Amino acid sequence: MRANRINAVVLRQLYLYKRSWTRILEVFYWPTMDLLLWGFLTIYLQRGSAALPHFVSYFIGALILWDILFRAEQGVSVSFLEDMWSRNLINIFVSPITVYEYLAGLVVIGVIKVAIAFAVMSSLGWLLYSFNVFRLGITLLPLALNLVLMGIAVGVFTTALILRFGLEAEILAWALAFLFLPFSAVFYPVSVLPHWLKVMAWFIPASHVFEGMRQVIAGGPAPVSQILAASGLNLVYIVFSFFFFVAIYRTALARGIIPKIGA
């Protein structure tokens, strides 16, 4: 791994954001819209029911943490798409960069985007709803880290599919993370899911993260078992996604896909 090549991938994306106000706006726009719409809706629903004492906190916390996963996924897959859209992919793959260095660069971009989006959403959550995400304490760190890791795994998997199928598969960059939303116990506990979906949910790292988040907000103990389960699953999925990408990359080399999708 050469740091200069990873830096080149990161720098290319940072330059892109430096000059494109639409891309900068996009980083702030959706998180703000999500928080405004769902936050106020939650407050409205809270007034009609006293059955869920932590309803607003659950919901705002879930929105902020879900955005971490989504941004990490997008940071990887949309950055790859940027190189496809600008017909720059061939220039990258004829350079000395290795496939691992390229992926590492995309992951760094994903982490930077997460950091910015998290700062925006946590600030807005506090300003609009007096929700302090840091009330989760030190537990916030492993919970957020696990969402970043899952986002990266989904992002690398999505990017592999885009590499294989070209721009026809670009919709996956936005859609695939949402596939996990209903089954990840983001806004409701796993217990409300039917039995077969419950089984599936426990194989999704995010389910453990959001169950853990609710446990902390409700004043329960640190969700150690949930964090360990999420970390173990993430380890498996990260390794799988990287192997999957490399396998697809080798297929792409054998089938001559890169010159077709890159030009």
Partner 1 sequence: MAILKVTGLTKRFDNVLALEDVSFEAERGEIVGILGPNGAGKTTLIHLIPGLIRPTSGRIEVFGMALDENRSSILARMNFASNYVSLPYSLTLWENMMVYALMYGVRDKGARIREVLALFRLLELKDRPARVLSSGQMMRLCLAKAMINRPEILLLDEPLSGLDPETARNSRELIRKLSREEGLAVLYTSHNLAEMQELSDRVLFLEKGRILMQGSSASLLGRYRVETLEELFFKVLRHES
> Residues 6 or more apart from 176 whose CB is under 8 A from it?
73, 77, 154, 157, 158
Which of 92, 161, 173, 248 binds partner 1 (CB under 8 A)? It is: 92
> Residues 6 or more apart from 72 whose CB is under 8 A from it?
110, 111, 113, 114, 147, 148, 149, 150, 151, 152, 155
Tokens 């992919």 locate to 89
Contacts 24+ apart (CB under 8 A), 202-205: 202/229, 203/233, 204/150, 204/180, 204/233, 205/146, 205/147, 205/149, 205/150, 205/229, 205/230, 205/231, 205/233, 205/234, 205/237
Residues 20-79 that bind partner 1 (CB under 8 A): 20
Distance, in Å, from the CA atom of 57 to the CA atom of 108, rounded to the nearest integer, reads 30
- Please state the closest distance from residue 83 (CB atom) to partner 1, in A: 8
By CB under 8 A, residue 167 contacts partner 1: no
Comparing C-alpha atoms, which of 170, 159, 145, 161 is closest to residue 234?
145
User: For partner 1, which is the closer residue by CB, 100 or 126?
Assistant: 100
User: For partner 1, which is the closer residue by CB, 41 or 94?
Assistant: 94
Residue 137 region, left (φ>0) first, then alpha (ψ -120 to 50), else beta? left
By CB under 8 A, residue 256 contacts partner 1: yes
Region from 6-14, 67-75, 107-115, 156-164 binding partner 1, contact rule CB under 8 A: 6-14
Mask for 95-134, x = binds partner 1 (CB under 8 A): xxxx------------------------------------
Residues 198-227 that bind partner 1 (CB under 8 A): none
- Which tokens hold the place of 41? 């809706």
User: For partner 1, which is the closer residue by CB, 8 or 111?
Assistant: 8
By CB under 8 A, residue 259 contacts partner 1: yes
Residues 7-26 that bind partner 1 (CB under 8 A): 7-9, 11-12, 15-16, 19-20
Q: How many positions of this chain bind partner 1 (CB under 8 A)?
A: 35
User: For partner 1, which is the closer residue by CB, 156 or 252?
Assistant: 252
- Please state the closest distance from residue 159 (CB atom) to partner 1, in A: 18
Specify the amino acid at residue 208: H
- Please state the closest distance from residue 23 (CB atom) to partner 1, in A: 8
Which positions lie near partner 1, rule CB under 8 A? 2, 4-5, 7-9, 11-12, 15-16, 19-20, 82-83, 86-88, 90-98, 250, 253-256, 258-259, 262-263
